[in-house]
Structures are given as structure tokens and as C-alpha cells.
A and B are shown apart, each in its own frame.
Chain A
Amino acid sequence: MTARILWTHVGALAALLAAHVLLPAYHHGNLARIMVLAIYATGYNIAFGYTGLLSLGHALFFGAGLYAAGLTAYYTGLPGWLALLAGPVAGGAVALALGSFALRTAGVAFMIVTLMFAQAFHLAILYLGRWTRGDEGLVIARASRQLFGLDLADGSVRFLVAWALFALTMVAALIIARSGLGRVMVAMRENEERSRMLGYDPYMTKLIALGLSGAMSGLAGGAYALLFGYVGASLASVQYSILPLLYVLLGGAGTVLGPLIGTVAMFYLIDLASNVTDAHQLVTGAALVLLILFAPRGILGSIRDRFARWIP
């Protein structure tokens, strides 16, 4: 790995850590949430940005992790690390199960199949309200949100744990992007038929990518449940399938740092817009239209195209 790639990513992580001491309380709390959502976006980027799988159903994987971790913490006395681990395991397993047949489709059909199963999951959560309490959701007690003796309800601990999990995910994404697998994923995105005739199995490549993407999304969901202590059906709604797509498009699809940049930018865009108007979704929509028109490769994607082709 070349030094500048290493230092760029280490620098990004160091900047996030520095924000821990520098930021005022309000933005400090925001950034903890942003980092968890950036884990989700990083996972989405593995499928969409690198492999070209446009899924509209990632809320299924995020939600699977959210509920696997949340229900474990809420209903069982199992240790926190086990509840957290249930997140990526559930997200990855559900992604492999869905992928095993959804990946027989492509393009618009794949979008519809993934959307449909995510909606079915959302409705199932509402239907199983006896255990999930549906939209109202479950608030996980502070006592159930302990990780190796750390109190996740504490703002400072929460920030640092979110940072550590994001760092782990980002390093994993960097390793994947620069591996042989990552190159084949990009090859599938660029030209599937060519890749098949170079000896690569499109179905297996995409299934592995979707499994990794689902595991990261599930980790984000699990982290969300334990760090913020709330598990509700709205977090598995269609909105949560669209958000990571927006984050990744804004930040730059197929770049390692793009999901983080996009999540920060979109989070604050929505935050600022909601201060001004109730119609903050209109602002989001307008931002997306402008993005597609003027910078379809996203923030980091545009920078890479113009100035720094080495950015992974």
C-alpha cells in the first residue's frame, strides 16, 4: 500500500478522533450518530459503489442487525459484545440468503426484489408488535448496554466506540477495495460479460460482495441499537434503504472515504434544512438533483477524477 493512501485514511480517522475533544456537545453527539450511519454507508458502498449492485432494500440488512442486537440486549441477559456481534452475523446471513436468489436478477428487477423483501421485513416487524412494539419500538435499558464494562449510554464512551467500529469498517473496506476480490468486484461493475469470459464467476463475486455489504450494514444496525438504546420499525423502513444510497452518491461511489464524507454532508444538510423549513426532504431532493446534474461522481469521486487518480 502506498504511503499517501495509508496516510490519507489514517489522517481521516485521526481527524474524527480529534473531533472528540474539539467539538461542542451538540456536534459531538451528531458525529457519533454520523459515524454509525457511515458504517452503514460504507457497507452499502461495497455492493453499490464497487460491485454495481443497486439495492433498494439495504434497510433489511440494517434492520436485521438492529433487531438481532436490540432484541438480544432487551430480552436476554447475554453480554453486550454478543449482542453487538449478532448485528453483523444477522446482516451478513440475511444478505447471503436474499442474494442467493435475488442475484439471479439484475438491474431494475434486482431493485424491485430487494425493495420488496425489505418492505416485507418492515411489515413483519409491525406484525410482530407483541415482541417488537412496532413503530413505538423498544428502549433498551442502560444496564443492558454494557460492552466489556464500558457504559455505552455515556456520551464519551459512545463516541469512542462508534469511532472504533467505524475505523474497523473503513480499514476492512480499504483492504477489500485493494484486494484481488475488490478488483474483480469493480470488473463486474464495469463489464460483467467481459469478466465472466476472463474466468470469474459473476454470481459468486456478487454474492460475496452482498454478504460483506450486509455484514457491515448489520454491524451499523447493531451498533445503532446498543449505542443509542432504541430499536423501532421506522429504522427498517424504506427511508433507511434510500439514505445510504444518498450518502454514497453524495460522497462518491466506489471510494473508501466517500461514504463518510457523504454521510457528514447529507446529515448536516438535512439538519440545517430542518432549522429553516419543515420541507427538509425537498432540500434533500434538490441537493440530489443538483448532484446528478453537476457532479454525478460525488464529492470524492469528482476530486479523484480531476486531481488524484490514486484515491482508492
Chain B
Amino acid sequence: MDSMTLLETHDLTRHFDGIRAVDGVDLSLRQGEIHALIGPNGAGKTTLVSLLSGRIRAQSGRILFQGRDITAMPAHRRVRLGIAYTFQITQIYRALTVFDNVALAVQWQRPANAAAMVMEALERVGLQAERDAIAGTLSYGHQRLLELAMGLALNPRLLILDEPTQGLAESEIARFDAIVRSVVPQATVLLIEHNMDVVMRLAQRITVLDLGRVLATGTPEEIRANRAVQAAYLGE
């Protein structure tokens, strides 16, 4: 593992009742890149990032984060180590205020000025005016942004975004692009995304997953030109 690598997996595997959701995946994320994970529905994308974030356990294989083996580490400790995960289906505290939602992401970091850190995260996603609103009353798009703000407030080394633009309007996606770009190069982004325009705009590298296996990894140009990918996914 060279010093530019933030996270890598070796032969990572997880089967569900004989379905090979993730089947021997070798993945490598470089420090400070936006790396997109694409593939058809059921390719194993969410399972793979769930293995990385620790939401589910690997059956075999290894996960190294900053050179350290975290394969058996529980999810909440991986978060504190710097792996943040934002959910595909929005997971916020609907009964709490917007401010309190983000404050929970900040609390364990014990910063000198927690309130300022919360407001900074809210400003990055443009929700500072909604700070006292009850999270459950926000529009869908704003709830997605709140979820993103919680991920940013964790101050992660690796931010995993699971279909963040799903259900967002075009104008909201433009804002989202800017936010994701602002995360790198200090941190790394792993982006699961179906919207190909977003992927091609943002990603420096793309990994294509199909049937639980890595079909190809490369720059957007290389992926576009890859015949196997075209056949399996892009449908061109």
C-alpha cells in the first residue's frame, strides 16, 4: 500500500443465501479523489459500501484503512476513525431540530466550539436558515442536504455517499456537485450514483461493479471506452 492510498480491499466477499452480493472485490481508493461506484441494480454497490462502513460484516477478505486492518472493527468505531456513510434512504432524526441533528455528529469530537462547527456544516449545504426547524418537516431535498451536512460534520477522511442525488431536482443537484467538490482533496469521496451526468462530471476514477465483481476501474474516459462496461451497463 503506497502513501497515496486511503482505503483498499482484498478479495472482499459477502454472500446472502447463495447470492454473491460482493464476490472477491479488490478496490483501492486514493487520498483526495472522488471515486464513483457504478453498476446495474443488484450489482452489489450498497453491499460493498456497507462492508466498508461496517454496517454488515465481511465473510472473507480484508479491508485496510490508512494501512490499518479494520475488517472486524464495529461500524461506530470506523466512523470515529474517519469513515462516514450517508444513507441511500434518508436517515435523520425526524423529531429533532436541524441543529440538533448535526450537533449529534459533532458531539463526540468534543470541539472547542461545537455550535460553530454545526453552523459551518449547515452553511456548507445552505441550511443555516433552517437551523431551528424540526427535521421531519423539511422538504425531501432539504432532508437529503441535512443528511449530507451530518456526514460533513463528522469531519471524515472518507465520505461514502449512497445515491445522494436520488429524487433531487436539477437545481439541487448543481448545489450538490459544488458541495462534493468542496470535500476533496482534504478528504476522499466514494460516490454511488445512477445519474451518469453527475458521475462523469465529478469522478476522477470510476469502478464498475457487476454481479458482485469489479468489471473495470479507470478514468471516466477509460470507462466510457471499455467494451465490457458498454455491454454490461452503459448499453451503448
Interface, chain A (partner B; CB < 8 A)? 180, 183-184, 186-187, 190-191, 193-202
Contact = CB atoms under 8 A, between A and B. Distances in A.
B104 A197 contact: no
B107 A197 contact: no
A301 to B, nearest CB: 12
A201 B74 contact: yes
Contacts of B77: 199, 201
B96 A190 contact: yes
Contacts of A201: 74, 76-77
Given A187-B93, A190-B96, A193-B91, A198 B79 contact: yes
B211 interface: no
B133 interface: no
The 7 closest A-B pairs by CB, nearest first: A199-B79, A194-B91, A190-B93, A199-B80, A201-B76, A198-B105, A196-B76
A85 to B, nearest CB: 33
Nearest to A187: B104
Contacts, number: 58
A197 B84 CA distance: 7
B85 A197 contact: yes
B151 to A, nearest CB: 9
Given A180-B107, A187-B104, A191-B91, A198 B75 contact: no
A103 to B, nearest CB: 15
B104 A198 contact: yes
A198 B79 CA distance: 6
B150 A198 contact: yes
B228 interface: no
A243 to B, nearest CB: 27
Given A183-B100, A187-B93, A197-B55, 9 more contacts: A183-B104, A191-B94, A193-B55, A193-B91, A194-B91, A197-B76, A197-B79, A197-B85, A200-B104
22 contacts: A183-B100, A183-B104, A183-B107, A184-B104, A187-B93, A187-B104, A190-B93, A190-B94, A191-B91, A193-B91, A194-B93, A196-B75, A196-B79, A197-B85, A197-B91, A198-B108, A198-B150, A198-B154, A199-B77, A199-B108, A201-B74, A202-B76
